[in-house]
Chain A
Amino acid sequence: MKRMVLRIRLTLLAAVICPLLMVMLLGCARGDVHVGVDGARERLRVATTTSMYDTGLWEVIEARYEQQYGIRLDVVYAGTGIALEYGRRGDVDVIAVHDKVREEQFIAEGYGIERVPFAYNYFVIVGPGDDPAGLADLQPEQAFTRLYQSQRVPFISRGDDSGTHVKEKAIWKAAGLDYEEVRTSGAWYIERGGGMGPTLLMAAEKQAYALSDIGTFLAYQGDTGLITLVEKDSIMLNVYSAIVIPPEITSAARYDRAQTLIDFLVSPEVQELIGEYGTKDFGRPLFAPCAGAEPKS
């Protein structure tokens, strides 16, 4: 019995030590940023879109911001729909998303104060090199109409309520088609339910068409071999903006910290960085800067 009691004591001890060990491990495990216990450092939580991750832009911004402000950025990558939900629930302090209509609605509902555009680019319709549906150089609406009529060549939709998915629905609507009807019209319409990168990889796999932001497309072009068929039309404009969640939902301290990220995003250095990002790897920039103002299409 004595040995048993001892063993129980040991187990209890382990139950105390292990969480401590965990905290230490977690503290040290972030060697990429700093060494030491993390509690001393302030944190800021951001939800941003998968395109910001897939292009690698946000990682560059994150590293610079952390260095300059000494605040640790916790970044959750999620489609615009989920990012807005995290913001609504107060689980993040800032969201950086790309869906103007829903952003304005979000602000009107009181979940944000101001929408600050900081970068933009264009959506593109991409597809296999031999372009089996013959979409090259059509208007976006015409291209979608042709895809729907052919009912033969697969189209991969994000299907996740992301900014890109919402844009896709807007184009179907502009083409005079009912989205529900398109969605359920046959096996050619595939709902991926995932990020932009995975969607492009699937399009390559199935030799299918897809709607993508140009940034993610260029970042994945090497892996997919897909080409752009329709680009640069006013409906294809893609604006990324940041919204700070109000202090009543998060806290005054978090709100103030979040403001520094907004200032940082529209600062001349970061705007210059955004305008140049990708030139070295892809031969052309992935984004254009738009310092706090709505870009003109």
Chain B
Amino acid sequence: MTLWQGLTRAFELLITFDGEVMGIAGRSLAISITSMLIAAAVCIPAACLIHFGRVPGKRWLIALIQTLYSVPTVLVGLLVFLSFSRAGPLGNLSLMFTPELMVIGQAVLISPIMLGLVISGLAGTDRRLKQTAVSLGASHVQAAILVTREARYAVLTAMTMAFGRAISEVGLALMVGGNIRGYTRTLTTAISLETAKGDVELSIALGLILLFVALVVNIVMNRFQQRRVDASS
């Protein structure tokens, strides 16, 4: 019965637009999307560099990136904590227990997935595409952009996966955010807190809201993908 109660509670919280819950959901979304975009802005060009460039030990580098898919969130959390804690090397920035630091941490966390999936997406395109573009007088940057565009599905998949990992992780958010009410409390940290308190219904409700948020994001991204198909045809 608890599941059913959680379901009705989630529905209730959603339609009544409960202030605190909406705040938590909005914060989760904002933090994960921002970290995903930052990671994308860094990783897509980096993936091009690795894929097209002459990187020594490329195969090993890719194996390393793929290994980092499974880096535990708490380990990234610990490294970010040690770097940004006031006693740490970047302590002067005073970012400990702020949403900004959660964004940084999540961006670090999801970068390997983004990098790895974009690289394999680029590798999946036709090799002749780049050769043809270059022979027709395109610069290397132009050719890289062309190939990336050809691999757009893989790039969008990478972004979706990275977003999923960011919004669903709890270890890092707890460790560097501190689960401060109205400031760094996200859906996942709230779920772990409410479960610890024994409020299972609210936890289920928050979990369903998280899935709902993810659904909305995925629909939007899907639309984006569709439109790109239309535009290029």
A residues sitting closer than 8 Å to B (CB atoms) are 1, 3-4, 8, 11-12, 14-15, 18-19, 21-22, 25-26, 28-33, 45, 54, 74-77, 88-92, 194-195, 197-198, 201, 220, 223, 249-250
Contact = CB atoms under 8 A, between A and B. Distances in A.
A32 B23 contact: yes
Contacts of B198: 197, 201, 220, 223
Given A31-B19, A90-B91, A195-B196, A22 B31 contact: yes
B157 interface: no
A170 B24 CA distance: 40
A198 B22 CA distance: 26
A32 B97 contact: no
A90 B182 CA distance: 22
Contact of A15 (B31, B38, B91): B38
Contacts of B41: 11-12, 15
Interface in B169-190: 178-184
A286 B16 CA distance: 34
B183 A25 contact: no
Given A25-B30, A76-B178, A194 B103 contact: no
B30 A249 contact: no
Contacts of B178: 74, 76
Contacts of A249: 86
A12 B44 CA distance: 13
A33 B87 contact: no
B85 interface: yes
A102 to B, nearest CB: 18
Contacts of A74: 97, 178, 180, 183-184
B145 A4 contact: yes
B23 A18 contact: no
A115 B19 CA distance: 38
A91 B180 CA distance: 13
A25 B38 contact: no
Contacts of B96: 91
Given A76-B178, A197-B196, A220-B198, A91 B19 contact: no
A15 B37 contact: yes
Interface of B: 19-20, 22-24, 26-27, 30-31, 33-34, 37-38, 40-41, 85-88, 91, 96-97, 99, 103, 142, 145-146, 149, 178-184, 196-198, 231
A30 B181 CA distance: 9
Contact of A197 (B20, B27, B30, B197): B197
Contacts of B197: 54, 197
Chain A, interface SS category: helix
B183 A30 contact: yes
B215 to A, nearest CB: 19
Contacts of A75: 180-181
B142 A91 contact: no
A239 B165 CA distance: 42
Nearest to B20: A32
7 contacts: A4-B145, A4-B146, A22-B99, A26-B30, A29-B26, A32-B20, A77-B179
Contacts of B179: 76-77
A29 B182 contact: yes
Contact of A90 (B30, B34, B40, B86): B86
Contacts of B38: 15
Contacts of B180: 74-76
B87 A89 contact: yes
Nearest to A47: B178
**By CB atoms of chain A within 10 A, which of B24, B184, B197, B231 has the most?**
B197
Nearest to B99: A26
Nearest to A38: B183
A25 B27 contact: yes
A29 B149 contact: no
Contacts of B183: 26, 30, 74
A118 to B, nearest CB: 21
B34 A18 contact: yes
Nearest to B149: A4
A21 B100 CA distance: 13
A31 B23 contact: yes
A150 B41 CA distance: 61
B97 A29 contact: no
A182 B65 CA distance: 44
B97 A19 contact: no
A92 B85 CA distance: 10
